[in-house]
């Protein structure tokens, strides 16, 4: 039963919404009612500024990696449980039990999970993503590029098959969560990096 406990703990760790907590602490707001309404680092940047956004990015990534480490220990070193713990941490971030199942899009947590799966693949994918964001100013596009090429890099590096399959599931999650961003990119209405939040959501 240790693998069940591992996945449950991973979900609970992932459910900690640092953007929500910082929004409450620093500005007395629910970040999900501001800007894009997303509980993540990008919306934190738009609403609260760069320093809180960096803190959220680091903590959201760290919780994914921490969940995997705990799962690895509880499962006696199972690579399958280790990989799936990453997915459950992302599920927790996207649909957090502590916050009414209204969370973020999981990219920062995905970065932490990616480091656990393959630091080398993470580094290459991150560099490509930074370049895409620098050239286009679209964080959403960069995020989608990241989750698309990361499974390919894992396969190229000969990673555990479980890691490759899990990374494909993570990519699917990201595409589903970014469906509105994809529509905005096609229409040319997607917000660019650096744009401040202009309105409060109803």
Tokens of 155: 């396969």
pLDDT for 202 beyond 50: no
pLDDT per position as a tens digit, 59-110 = 999 999 999 999 999 888 889 999 999 999 999 999 999 999 999 999 999 9
SS (H, E, C) 142-164: HHHHHHHHHHHHHHHCCCCHHHH
Contact yes or no for 75/81 (Cβ under 8 A)? yes
Of the pLDDT bands very low, low, confident and very high (cuts 50, 70, 90), residue 1 is: low
Contact yes or no for 112/69 (Cβ under 8 A)? no
In the chain, pLDDT over 90 holds for what percent of residues? 85
Q: Nearest CA to 48 among 29, 72, 63, 71?
A: 29
pLDDT per position as a tens digit, 112-128 = 999 999 999 999 999 99
- Whole-model pTM: value is 0.91
């Amino acid at each position: 039963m240790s693998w069940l406990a591992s996945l449950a703990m991973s979900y609970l760790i992932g459910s900690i919404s640092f953007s929500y907590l910082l929004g409450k602490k620093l500005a007395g707001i629910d970040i999900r009612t501001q800007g894009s309404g997303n509980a993540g680092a990008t919306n934190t940047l738009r609403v609260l500024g760069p320093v809180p956004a960096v803190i959220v990015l680091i903590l959201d990534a760290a919780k994914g990696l921490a969940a995997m480490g705990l799962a690895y220990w509880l499962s006696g070193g199972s690579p399958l449980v280790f990989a799936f713990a990453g997915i459950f941490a992302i599920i927790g971030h996207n649909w957090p039990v502590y916050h009414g199942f209204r969370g973020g899009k999981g990219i920062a947590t995905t970065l932490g999970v990616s480091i656990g799966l393959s630091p080398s693949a993470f580094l290459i994918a991150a560099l490509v993503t930074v370049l895409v964001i620098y050239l286009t100013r679209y964080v959403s596009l960069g995020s989608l590029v990241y989750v698309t090429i990361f499974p390919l890099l894992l396969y190229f590096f000969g990673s555990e098959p479980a890691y490759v399959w899990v990374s494909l599931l993570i990519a699917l999650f990201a595409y589903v969560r970014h469906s509105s961003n994809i529509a905005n990119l096609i229409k040319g209405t997607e917000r660019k990096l650096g744009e401040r939040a202009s309105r409060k959501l109803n």
